[in-house]
Amino acid sequence: MTLELAGGPDFAAAAPENPRWTRRYAGGAVTFRSPARTPERMPRVWSGRGLGLPDAELAEFAGQLRRVMKHDAYWAARNPSAGEAKVWTPGRYDDEDGFVYFAGPCTHGDPWPGYRPARTFTIALPCVRGLRIRVAAYLAG
């Protein structure tokens, strides 16, 4: 896919493969960013308690978790006991908003309680495997 810029059809640039998610690794954690969403469809985070994602985007996010687990930073930070699925709850679908919620160790820095829209959120790398297990189980069910 190419994007046509204002200069006309003479210059085309490749579109990013996945403009919805970016990942940044630092300090034994991965920070996800989802800039291409309206506030109503942004991930929801209750800092230190859980993550909510639109049901329709869960499969795409599972792919992001898979990419994290292939990154060298994940393997350097890996802790088999922290990567267990039990650090996350099974996914719970909320039919009022179409989100799937997973309670677990996800942060965004907002000190207020409750799930809030978040453009970025952070998960400790050793906890990524557990979330991937829970997301896969939800998608398979």
Taking Cα atoms as reference points, which of 40, 50, 47, 117 lies closest to residue 89?
50
> What's the CA gap between 105 and 51, in Å, rounded?
8
| Total tally of structural domains belonging to the chain | 1
pLDDT on residue 83: 65
Query: For residue 26, is it within any domain?
Result: no
Query: For residue 14, is it within any domain?
Result: no
**pTM for the full model?**
0.82
Taking Cα atoms as reference points, which of 137, 30, 43, 45 lies closest to residue 86?
137
Cβ neighbours of residue 77 under 8 Å, at least 6 residues apart? 28, 124, 125, 126
Residue 112 has pLDDT above 50, yes or no: yes
> What's the CA gap between 38 and 132, in Å, rounded?
25
Query: For residue 96, is it within any domain?
Result: yes
Query: For residue 1, is it within any domain?
Result: no
Query: For residue 125, is it within any domain?
Result: yes
Query: For residue 124, is it within any domain?
Result: yes
Residue 4 has pLDDT above 80, yes or no: no
Query: For residue 129, is it within any domain?
Result: yes
Residues spanned by the domain of 74: 39-140
Query: For residue 102, is it within any domain?
Result: yes
